[in-house]
Structure 1
Amino acid sequence: MDAATTATVDNTTTSHEAELDATTTGVGDLVRIRELGSGDGDVVDVVFAGLSPHSRYLRFQAPIAELSAATRRSLTALDGRTHLALAAFIQGCPIGIVRIMDLGDGRGELAVEVVDRWQGCAVGTRLLQAARNRAAELGYRELVGEMLVVNAAAYAAVRRAFPVTQVRRHGSELTMSMAVEGEPAAASPTQGLVA
């Protein structure tokens, strides 16, 4: 992102913060969600910049101070089918992203992040619901995702957006299988359900 773009984004964010507080009632009515394209790298940058080191760790399951060029290219290589991303905006300012990466056989990998300022305001749930709807339109039957066990907020948002969810625990990680419509794929005998 060049200096002019950075200045514009920073000024926009500041003016939005003056107009809205994360505790504003009816925030859900202000959230707009749209699909991103390969030219929306600035949206990825703004959302990443809004994540604290702890939120980055929860999202990427590793301490990440900045996006490498390769990771940024991967996150912006969107084609709307095998890799799609939806972003949440409040008054034009990006506040979260959910993405689906095709795994084949009607399955997709799901990932979501919400900037710290807007966590706890149902933005993640809205993004996950939008991802579920878009996945259904594209013919996905199941979405899967991994998260750290300590990420209780993300776990709760997934449970709200996907009422039928299978969860397996592997040490400090959870693997979640979420039915897009109807029942999820049958669990293998070694899979356990976590409430």
Structure 2
Amino acid sequence: MHVHVRLRDGGSALLRPLAGGEVSVVEAVFEGLSSQSRRRRFLVPMPRLPGGHRRTLADVDGDRHVAWVALVHGIPVGLCRFVRTSADSAELAFEVVDEHQGRGIGSALVDAVTTVARDRGITWLEATVEPGNAASEALLARAGVRLVAADGLLEGRGTPRAVRWSSPVNPRAVLALAAQPASSSSTAAATSSSWRSEPCLATS
């Protein structure tokens, strides 16, 4: 199952939760990032993704660590996640491969993940970005996170809220999918490769 979203340019993407251990998706999105996008995402130069990082980024459980992936024509093109830092706070992070930036995929992913965060009792979201990353700054502001300069970076926190954009994600569809039992990495991979034949949870 997926949540279908319409993109700014008239195209579409499918969103679903990342399955635990789904390292191949993490790797695919990382490979689609330019060196600048990798630095902006990880805040340090990252020519390759170390094995420990791959395993950590795929170590999702649906509550402490929640991640969603966006797929275009069955190919992973973006990820968004939150990781709890306390019972009611979590750190938010996201990335979209360079080829698909500017289409609204980041907005859709953040919209979906903040919807799940609110449902899971998260009342504060935290984020850190590089100065000059205007697109991420604007998206975080729409998600409720206000950033301020701190030690050469921009850091902030705020109450998560629905992301306002041209094609908002249907929250009921997101929560219905998030409530389903977590898929195994092998099941999720099979679903991704045959998404055209899978039922979708449509947006409003």
Q: TM-score, normalised by structure 2?
A: 0.72
Q: Which has the higher contact order (CA 8 A, sep 6+)?
A: 2
Q: Which amino acid aligns with 1:26?
A: G
Residue of structure 2 equivalent to 1:57: 39
In structure 2, distance between residues paired with 1:24 and 1:73: 33
Instruction: Tell me how far apart the structure 2 counterparts of residues 116 and 45 of structure 1 sit (CA, whole Å).
Output: 14
**What percentage of aligned pairs have identical amino acids?**
32
- The residue that corresponds to 1:106 in the other structure is 88
- Structure 1: state its 5+ residue gaps: 1-22, 183-195
Match of 1:167 in 2: 147
Q: Is contact 1:125-1:158 (8 Å) kept?
A: no
Cα distance in 1 for residues equivalent to 2:145 and 2:93: 15
Distance 1:24 1:107 in 2: 31
State the shift of 1:176 in Å. Answer: 2.0
How far apart, CA to CA, are the structure 2 residues paired with 1:37 and 1:165? 27
Aligned alpha-carbon RMSD (Å): 1.8
Partner of 2:202: none
Other-structure match for 1:125: 107
CA distance in 2, matches of 1:25, 1:175: 31
One-letter code aligned to 1:33: L
Q: 1:141 to 1:24 in 2, by over 3 A?
A: closer
Q: Look up the equivalent residue of 2:80 and give its one-letter code.
A: V
How far does the alpha carbon of each residue in 1:58-116 deviate from its partner, in whole angstroms, 9 at most, with x for none? 00011111111111111111111111110111121111000110111300000000000
The aligned residue for residue 26 of structure 2 is 44
| Alignment-derived partner of residue 10 in structure 2 | 26
**2:82/2:91 contact within 8 Å kept:** yes
Q: Look up the equivalent residue of 1:157 and give its one-letter code.
A: L
Residue type of the partner of 1:25? D
The whole-number CA distance in structure 2 between the counterparts of 1:25 and 1:72 is 31
Larger radius of gyration: 1
Is 2:75 the partner of 1:93?
A: yes
Q: Distance in 2 between matches of 1:45 and 1:181?
A: 29
Give distance in 1, aligned partners of 2:65 and 2:46. Answer: 22
How many Å separate the matches in 2 of 1:150 and 1:115? 18
CA distance in 1, matches of 2:127, 2:68: 16
| Deviation string, structure 1 residues 20-40 (Cα, Å, up to 9, x no partner) | xxx98312xx11110011132
Superposed displacement of residue 180, structure 1: 1.9
Please state how far the C-alpha of 1:48 moved relative to its aligned partner. 0.2
C-alpha distance in structure 2 between counterparts of 1:146 and 1:80, whole Å? 22
List 4+ stretches of structure 1 deviating above 4 A: none
After TM superposition, the score normalised by the length of structure 1 is 0.75
Q: Which residue number in structure 2 is paired with residue 9 of structure 1?
A: none
**What stretches of structure 2 of length at least 5 have no aligned partner?**
1-6, 163-204
Distance (Å, rounded) in 2 between the aligned partners of 1:76 and 1:39: 5
Q: Secondary structure at the match of 1:104?
A: coil
1:180 aligned onto 2:160: yes
